[in-house]
A and B are shown apart, each in its own frame.
Chain A
Amino acid sequence: AQTVTQSQPEMSVQEAETVTLSCTYDTSESNYYLFWYKQPPSRQMILVIRQEAYKQQNATENRFSVNFQKAAKSFSLKISDSQLGDTAMYFCAFMKRPGAQKLVFGQGTRLTINP
């Protein structure tokens, strides 16, 4: 079974700073996807970024980028130029491939961006 661990329950930074959220996972699979989801106070789950395990290049989406270290089973999220709207819970998630599989979530990191 796969497990996902987020070791930082809470983080807080000032607006415009860069912040990195950590995630490690455990799996014996070689083919999988990793995701970061954002959950603002409205509790809607919003996909932030996706990484395919077979791709060596780290995914980026505007201010969001990941550092994917496959051998270390590490998948961190970097938010650059943080904004007040980035305040949310962030969940790391694992999905094995192929096909449509369930998401396995970490415990989440509560990120607060201060003005």
Chain B
Amino acid sequence: EPEVTQTPSHQVTQMGQEVILRCVPISNHLYFYWYRQILGQKVEFLVSFYNNEISEKSEIFDDQFSVERPDGSNFTLKIRSTKLEDSAMYFCASADPDGAYEQYFGPGTRLTVT
């Protein structure tokens, strides 16, 4: 069964450093999302992406964040200058209109900012 993959599974970085989280969505999906989950809290929407542009973004998704689909298969989330409060689990998801836009999640990347 096709699945969403994410790399790395765990990333440790120092405050102020740039990080790039990578996702490979399911191949025929057209809609892509990033969510984050701070430990012990609920899952929060960050951004959605369709047709090579951002469809919607949340208040969390400020100028420090950016997304890109550089090569037609990968979908990346970049945090330019990490803060301690960026420490969280980051989930990528993808959806297909033929599947009633049901979102399939990747296993997540745990980001730890020290």
Contact = CB atoms under 8 A, between A and B. Distances in A.
A105 B43 contact: yes
B42 A105 contact: yes
Interface residues of B, number: 29
B28 to A, nearest CB: 14
Given A47-B102, A100-B101, A106 B42 contact: yes
Q: From DSSP, what is the main secondary structure of chain A's interface residues?
A: loop
B103 interface: yes
Contact of B50 (A37, A44, A100, A104): A100
Nearest to A50: B102
A103 B47 CA distance: 11
A76 interface: no
A99 interface: yes
A35 B41 CA distance: 18
A3 B13 CA distance: 33
Interface string A23-49: 000000000010001000011111100
B109 to A, nearest CB: 10
Interface string B31-45: 101010100011111
